[in-house]
Structure formats: structure tokens, C-alpha cells
Structure 1
Amino acid sequence: MTMTLANAYDGFKRMFHLEAKQPPAPEPLTRKPLPMVGLFSKLTSEQKAFVLNYKGSENIGGSEFKLKAE
């Protein structure tokens, strides 16, 4: 008889979620840095140094394609 009551009580607890769940782990305040995946990350060290030291014109394309200021 006590076994049947214990089984019924266990079923009741599971059905109505009376058992305390563990809280989820807290999220870290600072994320780990993600690896670089852009074009700059694919360059060699010589290419990166050249790009960072470039002092020439940054215009791309012909002057006929420039937007006109209104």
C-alpha cells in the first residue's frame, strides 16, 4: 500500500512539476573574442603592413561614376 502511495506521489510531483529545477548556468559578461574571418585576416603579414601604410588615393572607379552632390 505504501509503495502504491509513493508511486502516486512521485507521479503527482512529475505531473505538476513540484521538483525544483536547477537554474541555467549564468552567461559570461564578456564573450570570448571571435576569430577574424574577413578579407584582412586572410592577408599575410607583409600584405597587412602594406595595407596599413598605404598613403595613395582611396578612390575606386572612374570619375564618371561619382555621385554628384546636390
Structure 2
Amino acid sequence: MSDPPSYLTSASSLIKALKSASDPPQSDGPNKIDIALSAWQQTSFHVPRKADVLRDWIIEAWSRNHKGYVALS
């Protein structure tokens, strides 16, 4: 069995990857959405309140991307 990717070795490494300023966090690595999906699908990857961590990241990402949005009437 191969070693997991670095972002799936601990809760802190997952959060660090998702909060990285760049997407993907590493130039040769997966995009953040793929990292989140992998974390969710890996049943052997245990993070306390994993669903809450991923939900919070999604909400932050959506709100950050829409701050400059102005609705047209």
C-alpha cells in the first residue's frame, strides 16, 4: 500500500492545503476541490468533524469569490 498524499496525513495538513493562497496549493498537485473530495472519500482518513471542516472551507471559498460581485438590476 502506498503512502497517502501529504495533504491527507493530518487534519492540519488538510486545512493548510485548503487555505493556501494558490490553487492548486502545490504547482504539480491537485486543485483544492480535488483535495477536499479526496479527504471526504477516504474513509481511513480521520479528521475530527471532517464534514464541518470541509463545509466551512466551501462556504469561505464561495464567499471569498463573490465579495466583488454586484447584482445587476
TM-score, normalised relative to structure 1 = 0.22
Higher-Rg structure is 1
Which structure carries more relative contact order (alpha carbon 8 Å, separation 6+)? 2
Higher helix share: 2
